[in-house]
Amino acid sequence: MTTYDKRQEVPEQEKWDLTDLYTSETDWQEDVDDVLAMASDLQSYDGNINDGASLFSFLKTQEELSYKLQHVFAYTMFLSDIDTRDSHAQQLKAKASQTAVKVSEATAFFMPFLLSLDETTLKQYLQEEEQLTYFEDKLWKSFRYKPYVLSKEKEELLSTLGESLSAPADTYNMLNNADIPFGNVTDEDGNAVQLTRGMYAKRIEDEDRDVREEAYRAYYKPYVVLNNTIATNLAAEVKTNATIAKLRGHDSALSQSLFDDNISTEVYDNLLSAAKDNIQPLHDYTAIRKEKLGVDELRQYDLNVPLVPDMKVNISYDDAYDTMLEALVPLGEEYTKVLREFRDKRYIDVRETAGKKSGAYNMGVYGVHPFVLLNHHDDLKSQFTLVHEMGHAMHSYFSNKHQPQITANYRIFVAEVASTVNEVLLIQHLLKETEDPKMRKYLLNHFIEQFKGTFFTQVMFADFEKQTHERAATEEPLDANSLNELYESLFRTYHGPTLVFDEEVKYGWSRIPHFYRAFYVYQYATGFVSAIDIATRILDGDEQTLNNYLQFLRSGSEDFPLELLKKTGVDLTTPEPIENAMKMFRETVEAFKRTEY
């Protein structure tokens, strides 16, 4: 059974056991009280850290607080997500958020204090207190920011402007999620109804081209009408990023964004250039799409419809899980043994029920275990979602098991590696096992579309971000016309000459919320190609790569992301990993073209 009317109908084995976190709300409240008491204690250190002992005492208390706060927040998030209509759960979540704000306020003084120290003083503190060795690496990594810290007065000024500086992102979020009025489409009874995002996602994949076109034009209508407003808003965001980077002494907004992960702009530029150098297979696929759809002119609203009719295959959750375990055998006995236990120990909330949060995610809770939320349907799409989220969960499990709390959380830059390695292993396993040519073609099409969305589309977005910030830095115009022209030019570059452009294409940039989180999306692409490179070598039987990859899963954030990946054999300062991924993409496109049913 795929869906249930009530959560009570779902088998216990397919629901989270939240007693692993707290056995009662009373226990949860005790931790809330402890966190608030520790926050008050931490605030008393403001102005009173003057030697190694007091520095260690502050950091140790802060880590203990962080441990409890994560549990406090996770518990309420999980309660709320299993039924978003539960008002009591929402109240607990709000209380957890308020607690987190108080903690943030209590500890806000510390980073400015740390960066006000000179290097000699910090070294002295480390020599005075032997137990500070545990925090030493974190302290020095934080200390890297010192050259980019402004005077006390300027930092205070920027802090007071924080809400104003976030206004473009906040404005776009409200506009895009609350106020956007989509156009009308025709329902099954011939009536005009206003399009919703959920409707659009289904209609843009409809086999009826008229349905797709109508949905496409209705979806883009508000972005066309509001073009100047959204352009002015994005320009403000981009100019703010460029200005703050300049004020702090960074070479660019890009270098400022990459600084935290210790990544050079060379990696970003290498990604863009390598993608463009290997763009031909994507152009070939676009041409294949036109041929398969049998259209005189391929339009943007033709790019999402599946080229192979959906395979209506019924795959139970247990069968999907067992297939995943078979597909991941190349990762070794320990990996599959632990993964098998996740199902038995109720680490996964499986089924869609009324009020449950949509989508899927993994959250690793240090000191407990990963919690995975699914909305599982017994189909192929859910099977791929399962294997993706369990990749995240296993990364969390191994990092939390082998790392101290301070380095257990892996960074966003490497977050998609483990999930994508799992997906590659699954699809290769399914391709190897299937004897049905239609299923084979469907799987190849699925992988191509994943490649296109996770790599090429994200690189195109990254290219757009880089060029808009460069224009802001040199005070070139960033108005509706210039943004439209830039986006349309990039869309042509990445999609090739087969596509015939509608007027709406150039407005595509205005619907991307990630542009208000500068230089974030490129990490999807780097994580994807890293995973392709690693998975390919594991499937080729490279034992050294397997051992290195398993160590990578255990490493959390004990080193910077590029260094962790280098230990797996992936060096993103060179074009080689991207070219290896492009080779797989090219071969997949060719296999798709050859396969007939």
| Residue pair 515/235 in contact by the 8 Å Cβ criterion | no
Kindly list the domain boundaries of the chain, sorted by start residue. Answer: 3-149, 181-225, 229-314+411-597
Cα–Cα dist 467/465, whole Å: 6
Q: Is the pLDDT assigned to residue 155 strictly greater than 80?
A: yes
1: pLDDT strictly greater than 60: no
Under DSSP, is residue 309 helix (H, G, I), strand (E, B) or coil? coil
Residue type at 143 in one-letter notation: F
Q: Where does the pLDDT of residue 139 fall: very low under 50, low under 70, confident under 90, or very high at 90 and above?
A: very high
Average pLDDT over residues 140-169: 88
pLDDT band at 159 (very low <50, low <70, confident <90, very high): confident
Residues 469-516: pLDDT tens digits? 999 999 999 999 999 999 999 999 999 999 999 999 999 999 999 999
For residues 510 and 234, is the Cβ–Cβ distance under 8 A?
Answer: yes
- Return the SS3 of 368: coil
* Predicted local distance difference test score (pLDDT) of residue 189: 87
What's the topology of domain 229-314+411-597? Neurolysin; domain 3 (1.10.1370)
Active site residue 389: yes
- If you average pLDDT over each of 3-12, 559-568, 576-585, which comes out highest? 559-568
- Collapsing DSSP states into helix, strand and coil, what is residue 278? coil
The predicted structure's pLDDT at residue 333: 97
Average pLDDT, the chain: 95
pLDDT category of residue 2 using cuts at 50, 70 and 90: low
- Give all strands (DSSP E) within 303-407, no chain letters: 348-353, 361-364, 370-376
Q: Is 3-149 a CATH 1.20.140.70 domain?
A: yes
Nearest to 503 by CA among 527, 523, 487: 487
DSSP state of 233: H
Q: Is the pTM of this model over 0.85?
A: yes
For 477, the token pair is 């115009």
Q: What is the pLDDT of residue 224?
A: 97
SS3 23: coil
> Is 197 exposed, middle or buried, given 0-12, 13-18 or 19+ CB atoms closer than 10 A?
exposed
Going from the C-alpha of 496 to that of each of 280, 489, 490, the distances in angstroms are: 8, 11, 10
All residues at 6 or more sequence positions from 12 whose CB lies less than 8 Å from its CB, including other chains: 346
Output b/e per residue, 199-222; b: 16+ Cβ within 10 A: bbeebbebeeeebbbbbbbbbbbb
The closest of 318, 339, 319 to 329, measured between CA atoms, is 339
Nearest-angstrom CA–CA distance, 12 and 312: 27
Structure tokens that stand for 108 in this block: 């806000």
Q: Cβ contacts of residue 337 below 8 Å, gap of 6+?
A: none
In the chain, % of residues over pLDDT 70: 99
| Same-fold call for 3-149 versus 229-314+411-597 | no
How far, rounded to the nearest angstrom, does the alpha carbon of residue 15 sit from its chain's CA centroid?
A: 25
193 vs 196: CA distance, rounded Å: 9
* Predicted local distance difference test score (pLDDT) of residue 324: 98
| Nearby residues of 477 by Cβ (< 8 Å), 6 or more positions away | 471
Which residues have a Cβ under 8 Å from the Cβ of 404 and sit 6 or more positions away?
Answer: 134
pLDDT for res 3: 66
Given this model, what pLDDT does residue 358 score? Answer: 87
Is residue 527 a contact partner of residue 450, using CB atoms and an 8 Å limit? no
Token pair of 90, please? Answer: 């929402």
**Residue entry with tokens 């590659």:** 424
Spot the catalytic one: 213, 237, 389, 465. Answer: 389
| φ and ψ at residue 115, rounded to 5 degrees | -75, -10
Topology at the third CATH level for domain 181-225: Helix Hairpins (1.10.287)
In this structure, the chain runs to a length of 597
Distance (Å, whole) CA 105 – CA 117: 21
118: its two tokens: 């000179």
Question: What is the Cα 312 distance to its own chain's centre?
Answer: 29
User: Which residue shows structure tokens 């059974």?
Assistant: 1
For residue 160, the model assigns a pLDDT of 84
| Distance between CA atoms of residues 553 and 541, nearest Å | 19
